[in-house]
Amino acid sequence: MPTAPLMPLALMAALANEKTLIPRVRMAIAVVAQEVFLEDASTPGNPLRFSLARSVLSPTDLQAAAMMVGLVASPLFQAAAITANSSDPAVMAAAVTDEQLLNAVRVGWSAVAGVSPAQAAGAKETPIET
């Protein structure tokens, strides 16, 4: 059974729209894209991961805003934000370190790229019989 979010949805929405966080997310996306370019081609899901990296190498505010929703919904990001002991989105955003933000982007990269959990784990996909 899924676990409940660590913060109310209204607070998650406010944090996802926090203006001070968008530039940091843009930079985190660009950094992780560079990391993906250096991955071994045998990395599970590499073609999709590489394609996403190429398409967001210079992320726009719209791309960063679109990724914000997924980032803020992740337990990793929420856990970092609630360490601020505040419900002010700007204060919560400031509580998230660069490394925590980068890790949240790294964790979500395969899913955003369209890599299935089985592919990400390195499992061979079973063809669907028709």
Judge if pTM exceeds 0.95: no
Is 122 inside a domain boundary?
no
Domain residue limits at 48: 9-115
Is 58 inside a domain boundary?
yes
Is 43 inside a domain boundary?
yes
- Residue 58 has a pLDDT of 84
Alpha-carbon distance of 36 to 32, in angstroms, equals: 6
Exposure on the CB side of residue 94, measured as CA atoms within 13 A: 8
- Residue 1 has a pLDDT of 64
- Residue 60 has a pLDDT of 84
In this structure, is the dihedral angle defined by the CA atoms of residues 14, 20, 23 and 25, taken in order, positive or negative?
Answer: negative
Is 83 inside a domain boundary?
yes
Is 18 inside a domain boundary?
yes
Count structural domains, the chain.
1
Is 127 inside a domain boundary?
no
- Residue 130 has a pLDDT of 45
- Tens place of pLDDT per residue across the chain (130 aa): 678 889 999 999 999 999 999 999 999 999 999 999 999 999 999 999 999 999 998 888 888 888 899 899 988 899 999 999 999 999 999 999 999 999 999 999 999 999 998 888 885 554 445 4
Is 72 inside a domain boundary?
yes
